[in-house]
Structure formats: C-alpha cells, structure tokens
C-alpha cells in the first residue's frame, strides 16, 4: 500500500508522532478512492463531509474545464463575473425566502467568521452596539479565531485561549431537557445579545449529536421575541445531509444569516457563501465608507469554484438527486436499526443520510485513544471512516449503493466485536 512517510507536509488534525504516514490517493470516482498501488477505500465520510453526489461527478468536472477556458480569477471589488452573478441569483431562489444577499468566501470557517462580523456590524451601524454572541454547548464552527471563540472550549482551541473572546453558552438540548436550553437562551437574549449561532439539527465535530426540528424552531422564536439575530451554520448540514436541502427547512424557519460551504460545489472546489436578510445588508449601506462591510479574501467568488457550484445546483434541479438522498436516508435508517439495541453501543442515532454510533468504552471525548485504533482497523479493510473519539459515524456520498454501505457497517460490527474481546 502506498504510504507517504517522509514528507514536508503538515497535515490537518494529525499528531504526526502517532500517525507518521498518509495514503497517497491517485484517483477518485463515485464513492471510491484509489491509491497509487491500486488499493481502494470506500469514502464513507464524503472526504470530511464535502462530497455530495460522488467524486468527480461528470457534469461538475465538465463545468470546471469549460470555465478554465475563459476566466480563472479576478479581483471581486469593483469587478464581477457571470458565474458569481448567476450563482448568487440561484442561491436566492433555492434557499428560504428572505435570504436576499450573498457574500462569497473560501471555506466554512470563513463563512461563519463573516456571519459573526455581519451581526456585530449590523448592531454597530444601527447605533446600538451589541457584542455578545450566544452559542451552543459542544458546538464547532471552525478554526479561525472568531469561529473558535464561538465553538466549545476544547482540545481544538485550548492553546489559543488567550486570543478567544467570551461567548454566552446555552446547554445542548438533550431529549427531555429542552426547556433548560430555552430558559438559558431567553435569559441571554433578554440581556441584549447580538446573535445566536447554531448548527441546525446536528452538531458535527462535537460528536454528531442530534436534536429535534421543533427545538430549532423554538430557539428561533425566542431570538425573534428579543430581536436577537439568528445565525444558521449549515456548512455541514446544507445540501441534503439532513434529508432536506437545508436543515432549517425542517423547522420551518428562515435564519437572519446562513452559512453554506462543503456541499456547495458538490465538494469539487473550495467555495463558501454567507447569506443574509435585507436588513443586515441595509445596515451596512450608507454614504459613509466607514459603514461598509470590511471583509475579503484574495479568492473571493473564484470563477472556477462558482462554475462548479452552478453545475452542482443543476444536479439538484433534477428529481433523481433528491430521490437518491431519500433512498440513502432509508438505507441508513435500516442499517442503524441493526445496532439499535446492541449492548456494545451506548447510543445509535440517525438523521437524514447520517448515522452515528457511540462505542461502549471507558474513555470518551475526541482524544480517546480508541479512535486511532479504529481508524487503522477501518483503513486496513479498505474504508475511510474517521471516528470522533469512540463515536463512529457514516456520512457517505449520495451515489453509494446498499452493498457498498454494508461494507462500512460490517466493518463497524467487526470492530465492536474485536473491541469487546480485547483484540482491538
């Protein structure tokens, strides 16, 4: 198997002393990755949640090739281009009514950073500055300073504590304890918070924790009652992951600000957007240059990324894309039921195309040593599964077949057996 060990590359979320090598992938197609020596891996986590319809979807690849023939990159201040204009119009059409403006950036982290800055700028420009941001326990919103501040204090951001600003933290709405979340949120809102930021329906890196659509709707109602802005971080949940195109649809709400990335281009190219209601835009619209929204990145609205996103939205226009999501939701539900009453697991949960299972082990949390053992076990069986500590999750591209999906669940079953016997 082709493993690169002598490399100058510093990889993300990797302790190189424990994971000295990386598999060198030469080809990807559909739900599969192929290494240089021909070893294949089933991509059961969509390459960190970005691939939606499958690797190298032909329509998206063709759109990228066409775009490279005309325009690669231009400054996006004072200049524009048709892929960005067309994509913005299409996004306004398909998202919940009321999200009228589109700000481009490069990644999920920057999309959320932009959202926080928009919220704070909104209040300042209205002459009533508010600085307090409310966030949810266990949340993760990115790795820039602002997004780390909004995220839960954890191993992810502990070394940078001195840089982070304080946020008001509401408890995760555990089943049967939702009122505690609502009460804490109302108390913070009553004190004049600027915004609440949440991952709708499911927390990603925080452990794939799920909560109900009616809970999301109630949090939005509380924010509206006190005039607090509601930010939906749909970087992971957007574009079908929860079973609907956007998670907020299931709660029947429209966020004031929404963040999308990962699946925006089908996973083929880096691109992100932060969308907002007119009142957010209007608060920054004035004759004074000082009230402009001061944020940019060098590759804002890259034409090639926008072309990939337009091709992705064309795929979503066809009924078969949504049918594939529905079929995958059903397949995932059936396979989650296989482990529902299994004593080897503490919790089995299913939302949309996502299933997460917590293995019964002594050590919990992201740094649980079992995660590396599990990762190696799955890799040896030709699977890309990357547990969050003892939490194993399956979040595949929509093109995966039932037979391919069974490879992942058979491996999870085998891993649980080995763990119970002490062999893992």
**SS3 state at 46:** helix
Which of the four CATH numbers 3.40.50.460, 3.20.20.70, 3.90.1150.10, 3.40.50.300 does domain 3-56+319-421 have? 3.90.1150.10
What's residue 1's pLDDT? 65
Q: Which residues of the chain have pLDDT under 50?
A: none
d(C-alpha 104, C-alpha 119), whole Å: 16
Question: Which tens digits make up the pLDDT trace of 360-399?
Answer: 988 888 888 899 999 999 999 999 999 999 999 999 999 9
Same fold, 3-56+319-421 and 60-317: no
Q: Please report, for the chain, the start and end positions of each structural domain, with discontinuous segments joined by +.
A: 3-56+319-421, 60-317
Tell me, which fold does domain 60-317 have in CATH?
3.40.640
What's residue 369's pLDDT? 86
Question: Which tens digits make up the pLDDT trace of 324-368?
Answer: 999 999 999 999 999 999 999 999 999 999 999 999 988 888 888
Question: Hey, which residues does 25 pair with through a beta bridge?
Answer: 35
Closest CA to 362 of 342, 336, 386, 389: 389
Question: Which tens digits make up the pLDDT trace of 151-186?
Answer: 999 888 999 999 999 999 999 999 999 999 999 999
What's residue 421's pLDDT? 86
Closest CA to 329 of 357, 349, 354: 354
Number of C-beta neighbours around residue 347 at 10 A:
14
Cα pseudo-dihedral 136, 141, 146, 151, rounded to 10: 40
Radius of gyration of the chain (CA): 21
Question: Hey, which residues does 230 pair with through a beta bridge?
Answer: 196
Rounded to 5 degrees, φ, ψ at 38 are 95, -5
């Amino acid at each position: 198997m082709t493993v690169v060990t002598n490399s100058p590359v510093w990889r993300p979320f990797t302790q190189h002393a424990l994971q000295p090598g990386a598999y060198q992938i030469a080809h990807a197609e559909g739900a599969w990755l192929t290494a240089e020596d021909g070893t294949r891996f089933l991509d059961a986590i969509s390459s960190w949640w970005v691939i939606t319809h499958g690797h190298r979807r032909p329509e998206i690849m063709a759109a990228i090739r066409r775009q490279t023939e005309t325009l690669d990159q231009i400054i996006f201040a004072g200049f524009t281009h048709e892929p960005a204009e067309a994509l913005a119009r299409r996004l306004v059409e398909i998202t919940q009514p009321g999200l009228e403006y589109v700000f481009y950036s490069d990644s999920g982290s920057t999309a959320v950073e932009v959202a926080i800055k928009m919220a704070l700028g909104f209040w300042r420009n209205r002459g009533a500055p508010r600085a307090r941001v409310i966030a949810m326990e266990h949340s993760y919103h990115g790795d820039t300073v602002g997004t780390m501040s909004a995220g839960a204090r954890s191993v992810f951001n502990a070394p940078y504590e001195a840089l982070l600003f304080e946020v008001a933290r509401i408890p995760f709405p555990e089943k049967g304890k939702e009122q505690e979340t609502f009460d804490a949120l109302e108390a913070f809102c009553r004190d004049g918070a600027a915004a609440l930021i949440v991952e709708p329906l499911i927390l990603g890196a925080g452990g794939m924790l799920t909560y109900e659509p009616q809970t999301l709707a109630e949090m939005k109602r509380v924010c509206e009652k006190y005039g607090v802005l509601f930010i939906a971080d749909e970087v992971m949940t957007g574009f079908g992951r929860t079973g609907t195109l956007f998670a907020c649809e299931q709660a029947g709400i429209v966020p004031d600000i929404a963040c999308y990335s990962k699946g925006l281009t089908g996973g083929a190219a880096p691109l992100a957007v932060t969308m907002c209601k007119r009142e957010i835009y209007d608060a920054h619209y004035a004759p004074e240059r000082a009230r402009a929204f001061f944020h940019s990145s060098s590759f804002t609205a890259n034409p090639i990324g926008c072309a990939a996103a337009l091709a992705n939205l064309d795929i979503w226009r066809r009924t078969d894309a949504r049918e594939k999501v529905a079929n995958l939701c059903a397949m995932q539900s059936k396979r989650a039921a296989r482990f529902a009453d299994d004593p080897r697991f503490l919790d089995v949960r299913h939302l949309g195309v996502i299933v997460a299972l917590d293995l019964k082990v002594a050590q919990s949390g992201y740094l649980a040593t079992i995660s590396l053992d599990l990762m190696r076990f799955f890799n040896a069986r030709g699977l890309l599964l990357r547990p969050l500590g003892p939490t194993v999750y399956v979040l595949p591209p929509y093109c995966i077949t039932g037979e391919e999906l069974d490879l992942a669940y058979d491996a999870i079953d085998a891993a649980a057996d080995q763990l119970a016997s002490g062999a893992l």
